[in-house]
Structure 1
Amino acid sequence: MLTPQQVEQYERDGLLVLPSFFSLEEIGALMADVPRIVAMDRPEIAKSAAGETCAALALHRYSAVFDRFMHHPLLIETARQLLGGDIYCHQYKIVCKDPMGSLDFPWHQDFGNWHDLDGMPEPKALNISIYLDEVTEFNGPVAFIPGSHRHGRIPSLAETPAGLVNTTTLARLNRGVIEELVNEHGIVAPKGPRGSVAIFHGLTAHASTPNISPWTRHILYFTANRMTNAIRKPTRPDYVAHRDFVQLEPETEAA
């Protein structure tokens, strides 16, 4: 369980970073299946025109180890605590940044996509991002504007990042908005060892630059949504916006 101070920080900043939240053994078990996953030819595996692997979505469909991990007590109990109720998994994906790659993400709020493209009624969902590799200042860390979630939904422009056609679009925020938010709240880019997590609100503005290092950067994203907030009018493939709405329960034998 998170402490009252950690819950207060999440509510204040829309961001909570927990170093080494998962063990190296747990992360190692996940990473052992990543080479097989990224080599697959499936619609859930997004690659750029140059062959760079960008993302692997709906991991629970084709990876037993990731399916088990989706039921990890730490994931489910943390999400329940912060969302205040039972949850299901709205999205479950790895975002891959290959060494010296080109993948980047402009400033955006995830709830913009969840609401406009999936019909999610309210911003009662969050992301738990798990570092499968060490995240450094060189390999494309995610940058956040802490406190930006308190501004609510900000008007945005739908944009599809290169290499992610038919998998996702982003509710991109314009430069003027970002300047105002950063001047008021600042900007952070959490780094940490494998197993660390960054939990962030669906309205927290974030972005990331390409990986300029010779090392991989894989981050696993578990998007938890309140059962009462299930999406109503999805327009994206079901491997992007899940439709099963199965209430998640913790399993002690998680990876």
Structure 2
Amino acid sequence: MAQILNDADVKAFHKDGYVIVKNFFSKQEIDKLYSIATGDAVVKENAVDLNDQSGRKTKLTLWFTPGNDVYSMLLRSERMVKSVGKLLDSDSPVCHFHTKLMQKEPRVGGAWEWHQDYGYWYKNQFLFPDQLVSVMIALTEANKANGCLQVIKGSHKMGRVNHGFSGEQVGADMTMVNNALQTMEHVYVEIEPGDALFFHSNILHRSEANLSDKPRWSLISCYNSLSNHAYNDESTSWREPVKIVPDSALMDAAIGGASTDGDFLKKEKDPALKETGWEKEVATS
């Protein structure tokens, strides 16, 4: 049954920087979405690779404006948007910043280095990290063996940590990361298909390479408050309130995969991947 975050969930999110909701989407919903995603030619054509420090490639497809495809029925669903609205530090409408389909293939999927999402989005010049939140929906099982997400519990309370480049990725200052690891709990977020992980834009997190024989796919939707302006971002979805659809839309609609006219991320246009000079002063390994 569709659910919205309760008061205990919201309290846990603010205390720990994240909260896990089991079975946020049903097996039937995830089976439908995953079967479409794995055969989606548009998703494959618009995937980008970001090398980690070892040279392994982590693959993702990222787009900004929601449409009427199967992914948008999930991210525009009432349970998603209203739950996010309870977490954002604003009474303004909830907007969609972007969604990315993470594709960690067996034995080749690369790692994500320690970082905060706001370490990337700071370069987009969003002002308020408490008005940005991400929701990861597991499409396959995520565990230690296939490189599940890891978080440092409560690290969102540190504020923004300096970030530099780590391979083609943006990585957090490892001096601060190591200090955090000595102070706070290191958690492996092992979740099942349909589970949701809501996490703060400043929580430190990473994932290891997928060295197993099973894929790890997930959908991560990032939301923003209308009151949180991005002063260095060419996309427009972050300032357009989400057009909410009923929770039943994912299963009821005769919908398919991504549209060819979607506004997909191009690496050369991402402000977070452009060098400003100060990144070289940050130790990310």
TM range (shorter): 0.7 to 0.9
Q: How many residues align?
A: 240
1:216 Cα deviation from its structure 2 partner:
0.7
Please say if 1:254 is aligned against 2:260. Answer: no
**One-letter code aligned to 1:147:** G
CA contact (8 A) 1:95 1:220 kept: yes
Aligned to 1:80: 85
**Residue 47 (structure 2) aligns with:** 45
2:15 matches 1:12: yes
- Mapping for residues 77-116 of structure 1, pairs under 5 Å: 77-83=82-88, 84-85=90-91, 86-116=93-123
**One-letter code of the match for 1:128?**
V
Q: In percent, how many aligned pairs have the same letter? A: 20
Contact 1:129 1:219 in 2 (8 A): yes
Which residue identity lines up with residue 36 of structure 1 in the other structure?
A: G
Residue 142 in 1 paired to residue 142 in 2? no
Partner of residue 193, structure 2:
194
Deviation at 1:37, TM superposition (A): 2.5
The 5 A counterparts of 1:233-248 are 233-234=232-233, 238=235, 242-243=236-237, 245-248=239-242
CA apart distance, 1:205: 0.3
1:165 alignment partner in structure 2? none
Aligned 8 A contact 1:135 1:193 in 2: yes
1:153 match: 160
Larger CA Rg, structure 1 vs 2? 2
> How far apart are 1:244 and its partner, in Å?
6.0
Give the Cα separation in 2 of the matches to 1:112 and 1:100.
28
Contact residue 139 and residue 217 of structure 1 kept, 8 A: yes
Distance 1:179 1:245, change over 3 A: same
Output one character per residue of 1:181-235: Cα deviation in whole Å (capped at 9) or x when no partner. 0111110011121001111100000000001111110110010100110312126
- TM-score (norm: length of structure 1): 0.86
Describe the shift of the 1:63–1:101 C-alpha distance in structure 2 as closer, same or farther (beyond 3 A).
farther
Counterpart CA distance in 2 for 1:218 and 1:4 is: 29
RMSD of equivalent CA atoms? 2.4
TM-score by length of 2: 0.77
Structure 1 residue runs of 4+, over 3 Å off?
38-42, 47-53, 59-63, 158-161
Q: Give the structure 1 partner of residue 277 of structure 2.
A: none
- Output the CA distance in 2 between the equivalents of 1:244 and 1:125: 10
Structure 1 residues without counterparts, runs of 5 or longer: 162-168
SS in 2 for 1:228: coil
| Aligned AA (1:183) | Q
Distance (whole Å) between structure 2 residues aligned to residue 145 and residue 106 of structure 1: 13
SS at match of 1:232: coil
- Does 2:71 match 1:69? no
Q: Which runs of 5+ in 2 are unaligned?
A: 251-285
Distance 1:203 1:138, change over 3 A: same
